[in-house]
């Protein structure tokens, strides 16, 4: 990218892109436990907000729906310096939260990404420098045969996706798509709240699947159950650079959600 092109960039323009093959897993996290990991300004959306913004997701008392992506990432390119990194594995999590900066600003529904697990050190360090709360797990492994695909981090995560459960589908579950129509929100290792514009598109080769999950996070053992729902799909993703609250929601740099959502 030339200097002149760089100067014309707006905060919401593409900073990074790539192609993923991911299992999208919808599950439920106890609200009381989520409260303990939320940062300043964040709160759990009301049942009314969840029902309005995610109308197809089942509501469960004391629980909040969330998305986990189990991904094999390739062709991941950083656009400013035009660098492409080696393929890698990534597991990341998205929770619907409301954010209000100081109590006087309007509450904004966001998709909070508290952490990401990766198997490559370079991608982990680079992501942390950009404000993402990435964790390096060199023992993160994916295994696949005729019967199942699995992702594993010893003592942290064990996820299995039986091949026998796969059924072709026309599209991913609406909840998964709707997560990416909200500002992505993170809290970095530098104790900074950052916002991103994240897009997922060119979704193809979609399958409905089942998932057997055990995730040990901060003493909470989250397991899949009869309410867990899952898709497998190929897609392209993009994300913007990290932005402060003022820059993300600045009227001079409006994000074109109509273009992102196709509505």
pLDDT single digits (tens) 106-131: 899 999 999 999 999 988 887 776 77
pLDDT single digits (tens) 40-72: 999 999 999 999 999 999 999 999 999 999 999
Q: What is the pLDDT of residue 3?
A: 44
Q: Average the pLDDT over 175-185 and give the result.
A: 95
User: Which range, of 6-15, 120-129, 133-142, 170-179, averages the lowest pLDDT?
Assistant: 6-15
Count Cα neighbours of 193 within 13 Å in the Cβ-side half-sphere. 18
CATH of 3-261, one of 2.40.400.10, 3.30.70.980, 3.40.50.150, 3.10.129.10: 2.40.400.10
Provide the token pair at 193.
């709240």
pTM given for the model: 0.91
Q: Average the pLDDT over 190-202 and give the result.
A: 90
Q: Average the pLDDT over 79-102 and give the result.
A: 87
């Amino acid at each position: 990218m030339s200097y002149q092109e760089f100067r014309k960039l707006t905060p919401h323009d593409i900073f990074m892109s790539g192609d993923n093959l991911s299992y999208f897993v919808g599950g439920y996290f106890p609200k009381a436990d989520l409260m303990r990991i939320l940062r300043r300004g964040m709160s759990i959306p009301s049942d009314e907000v969840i029902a309005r913004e995610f109308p197809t997701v089942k509501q469960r008392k004391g629980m909040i729906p969330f998305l986990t992506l189990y991904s094999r990432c390739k062709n991941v390119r950083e656009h400013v310096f035009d660098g492409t990194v080696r393929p890698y594995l990534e597991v990341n999590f998205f929770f619907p939260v409301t954010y209000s900066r100081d109590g006087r600003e309007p509450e904004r529904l966001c998709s909070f990404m508290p952490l990401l697990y990766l198997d490559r050190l370079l991608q982990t360090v680079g992501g942390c420098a950009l404000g993402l709360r990435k964790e390096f797990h060199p023992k993160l492994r994916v295994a696949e045969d005729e019967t199942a695909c699995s992702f594993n981090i010893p003592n942290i995560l064990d996820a299995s996706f039986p091949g026998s459960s796969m059924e072709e589908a026309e599209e991913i579950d609406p909840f998964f798509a709707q997560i990416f129509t909200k500002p992505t929100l993170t809290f970095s290792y530098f104790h900074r709240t950052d916002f991103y514009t994240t897009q997922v598109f060119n979704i193809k080769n979609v399958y409905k699947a089942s998932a057997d999950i055990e995730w040990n996070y901060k003493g909470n053992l989250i397991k899949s159950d009869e309410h867990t729902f899952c898709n497998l799909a190929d897609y392209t993703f993009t994300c913007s650079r990290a932005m402060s609250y003022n820059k993300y929601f600045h009227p001079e740099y409006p994000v074109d959600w109509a273009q992102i959502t196709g509505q």
